[in-house]
Amino acid sequence: MVSRRIMLVVVLVWTLLAGCTSAGGAGEELPDGTSLVEASAESLRELNTVAFDFRVSGAIPGLTLRAVDGVAMRSGGEHGYARGDADVQQLTDRTLYQFVLSGDRLRLTDQDGDRTERPVPEQLSPARLLSPEHGLYQLLSHATNLKTETKEDLDDLPTYRVTGKLSREVVSAFIPGIQADVDVKFWVSEAADRNLMRVWVQVPPRQESAGSVMLELALSKHNEPVSTAASPTS
């Protein structure tokens, strides 16, 4: 009986100690969240090309995109350059497009091969989104209540996950349909470059009966060459 009590005490002590250590591993101290995000913001200043994957789970007024992925380049003209695939929801119609953003035009080709052209949406152009004055840099530099939660791998790449808050004013500059402050998570690479690898945003419901909307942006291939060769939509 005494032995069992001793074992229970030992287990309790170890449980308490485990709760006091960081999530980075046994005895490993996690880097400060603010410092990680500040370093990642600075690395974005030098970001010219990147592969991206943006997903929306839920509905935001005025946002018709469900998903878009491809590659983007800040240079290459006033609006930059991008190409990839987009999943668009308009009322009850859902359409898949291939797209090329080049010069001052956004060229779209749907799954039937029909092509359309539109002016570049300046608010979401690569030149703007990758710009330190207007782009992703602003999300990182204006995030508050930053705290490193854990260390985890993204596609075998070690990263730190940092949680925080973003004000409605900051987020609505990217997506006008957001009407409240949001929770945010940043995944920052463990490597010295502190590249931003993923952003996750939880938008609170506009009505109590509705669910939260999740926005997720994954980034990869930072500053790797991007080809602007002709594609099926050009």
If DSSP codes are grouped into helix, strand and coil, which group holds residue 91? Answer: coil
If DSSP codes are grouped into helix, strand and coil, which group holds residue 27? Answer: coil
Amino acid at position 196, single letter: L
pLDDT tens-digit readout, 56-113? 987 777 778 899 999 999 998 899 999 999 999 877 788 999 999 999 999 999 999 9
What's this model's pTM, rounded to 2 decimal places? 0.83
The CATH architecture one would assign to domain 28-220 is: Clam (2.50)
pLDDT tens-digit readout, 25-68? 445 799 999 999 999 999 999 999 999 999 998 777 777 889 99
Phi, psi of 80 (to 5 degrees): 80, -160
Angle at 179 between CA 174 and CA 199, to 5 degrees: 45
